Structure 1
């Protein structure tokens, strides 16, 4: 797992490429993965036998699946490929380019929903700070005779299980700590890290795993109050393995690459800025993560708005206000009985009145309602005299976001006293009074 390529590392592969329906028609080309930008396949020629036609440059030849074999014998599947071509009239062949949504390194897939994977290892950089891997053991010994100290660092070859939770009937998510040891005796490089293992009882598709990973990224984004993205995804197929003489099986890793748009430009690895870490919720964690996964349909758009509202943005706009207030409205519409925004706000403010960091906010419901109607429905501002803008709207959004965070925490299983404790112990700027 440690020798594989990370999602933030560039990848370039030369090889032959073909359509699953025409494996005999192989075209040479270069595959390039550029982190946060594109997955591009450049073919020297085309899959279309009529590519000599000068009109080819105006044709679109999108493909759901493209297969390939690289110069180092790696099997490749490209998914959702959109073509564009260029034709030099003095050259007897075109250069055809494809932009692809997903890159699978290590297996030829029939389609994105093919059910063949049973396990995934997912590395998330911030996870090691949120939950300590506890994989290294440091021992200090004192030599009283020579008045010296000796430090010994040791670790186990296998990963350490920190938590295992069944999030649904088919899925178990393990949090594990491990050690990456590289180098040699003279210059060893030792790194400990935390990762998650997603195990399926029955084989599922990459699409299913991708949904599981996305939900965990969102959970960690809430916990750390910052945008979280995984750095490596490795999948395993029960049929792809090498069996040794003693009967043990080595399953070949399969990597998933895709373009991550919501990268965090201002990462914070300081735990005191987190809303909560694993240690602070270890007892409730199994129930909370189970709730997070099993009620995903009811809370999905509200949760997505909350995660979007905590992203670092260099400029504030009215859209940022609308994201938060629409999430609060959606929460009340689905999980409370109130039917109008004024009553919704008054009820939530009363419900969370025990939260210290909300007590002095004095949210004016009239200002919220008028601002929502003005920016959302473009109503005449003279008819909405309590509409806020600029710095005042920013401050109102700041207060409403804290209220929304309390709503989500309560929904996934935290009591009011526990929510108050979590907010009070965090030094994150998003939670200040």
Structure 2
């Protein structure tokens, strides 16, 4: 997750069952969500703890400005023991729940989790800010109309909300009037759930934004509420307390995304009429082709420092995609099993285990056939028959060389600019298939190709 400003706060920390033993420390959250707690001393100085039997599954703290915090899934990264002096130890923390202190065995469950994603304002494209200039542009009238929340039912039992936060100028004399507008996602559940159930959907929705924006974007400003944890806002009026959450999430890029509406594959306005269907289709598709989606995003997010690694991720991703979406085999399954049984029966007993391992996946089509099937729906975008054959052969030869590094394959593998072109085309084919999975019509894909120069450029590379 994105941490926009330095987050480092001092306080006192203790174990839930040892509130009388509080030790000073400093809690730090780095950009990306990495969390560290530096403490003076140790939480437990018993013989068992000194021998490594520490239970730091939950730590409670009271820090400056934020008040009570609960630190989840903790363990010592470095443990220093002082013999008469002062020592500092470093604790790794997986998640910070800010604003509440849970008991040792109390479950941290929530009814809502809200978050924003880089680029969500541009992607949704809905704003309540209106600016009207006079004819001579010497005066302007600025107004704000609060936007209605959009709510979609997910098949998982959650509801996905798109809502809009805003701030208005204060009253009185001023030399500056400022209106801010921010778009957020919110997941809600009538039944309180563990955060892991929320974070799974948050992760998948974020990757949908990455795909739509064609850029690696990161979440920030994660807040939760639980109907059982409330605060009094006025006499007799209560509301669920806002609980801030910090954790290390993917996707994440150290560099801020450079967003351009002309580079986006699609915007919210393109799916607004059937947004609920698209959101649910993405979540169901993600569960089926999750490994291939993971490989695709690892390739396009810059995780691979070298082009070889990006190519291998895309090649494996396309192969896995076809494997997850097709049951095609070389021959009828019953016929293949009969043939294997006959081979094993006639094979010497001492070699049957070896032979079984050799023929176990013998009915699967090879990489070349899978790549050919994958590009077939979009073959007109790859070129003529000769160009498509060259593309498939180049993908297979390069994958085989980079996997086995056989000298015989080196001369037929793509290198330098040719390898880069292969990656561009494979990436574009992946994007076209994911659009198809979201049930974009052929006319919609044609429109995207005509309006999105980045995608068109990937396919036009020679």
**Structure-2-length-normalised TM-score:** 0.81
CA distance in 2, matches of 1:62, 1:176: 40
CA distance in 2, matches of 1:153, 1:195: 23
Task: Give how far 1:284 is off.
Answer: 3.3
Match of 1:35 in 2: 31
3-state SS, counterpart of residue 439 of structure 2: coil
Q: 1:218 to 1:179 in 2, by over 3 A?
A: same
CA distance in 2, matches of 1:314, 1:427: 24
2:401 matched to 1:374?
Answer: yes
- Contact 1:287 / 1:413 at 8 angstroms: preserved in 2? no
CA distance in 2, matches of 1:320, 1:173: 33
Q: 1:62 to 1:369 in 2, by over 3 A?
A: farther
- Note the residue ranges of structure 1 that are not aligned, 5 or more in a row: none
CA distance in 2, matches of 1:227, 1:68: 34
Deviations along 1:179-224, one digit per CA (max 9) or x if unpaired, are 2335664322222221112111211111122111111110000001
Higher strand share: 1
Task: Give how far 1:313 is off.
Answer: 6.7
Match of 1:321 in 2: 311
Map of 1:136-285 to 2, 5 A cutoff?
136-140=129-133, 150-156=139-145, 159-161=147-149, 163-181=150-168, 185-243=174-232, 247-260=236-249, 262-263=252-253, 265=255, 267-285=257-275
Task: Give how far 1:297 is off.
Answer: 2.0
CA distance in 1, matches of 2:153, 2:443: 27
2:449 matched to 1:427?
Answer: no
**Structure-1-length-normalised TM-score:** 0.86
Match of 2:335 in 1: none
- CA RMSD in angstroms comes to 3.0
Task: Give how far 1:43 is off.
Answer: 1.6
Q: 1:148 to 1:287 in 2, by over 3 A?
A: closer
Q: 1:126 to 1:111 in 2, by over 3 A?
A: farther
Task: Give how far 1:76 is off.
Answer: 0.7
CA distance in 2, matches of 1:387, 1:423: 29
Task: Give how far 1:25 is off.
Answer: 2.3
Task: Give how far 1:148 is off.
Answer: 7.5
- Contact 1:265 / 1:312 at 8 angstroms: preserved in 2? no
Task: Give how far 1:178 is off.
Answer: 3.1
CA distance in 2, matches of 1:117, 1:155: 32
CA distance in 2, matches of 1:138, 1:60: 63
Higher helix share: 2
Q: 1:188 to 1:150 in 2, by over 3 A?
A: closer
CA distance in 2, matches of 1:249, 1:31: 30
2:65 matched to 1:104?
Answer: no
Match of 1:364 in 2: 391
CA distance in 2, matches of 1:331, 1:85: 45
Task: Give how far 1:109 is off.
Answer: 3.8
Match of 1:348 in 2: 374
Compare CA radii of gyration and give the structure with the larger one: 2
Match of 1:125 in 2: 118
1:48 to 15, 20, 44: 44
3-state SS, counterpart of residue 301 of structure 2: coil
Q: 1:367 to 1:110 in 2, by over 3 A?
A: farther
Higher deviation after alignment, 80-89 or 265-274 = 80-89
- Note the residue ranges of structure 2 that are not aligned, 5 or more in a row: 329-364
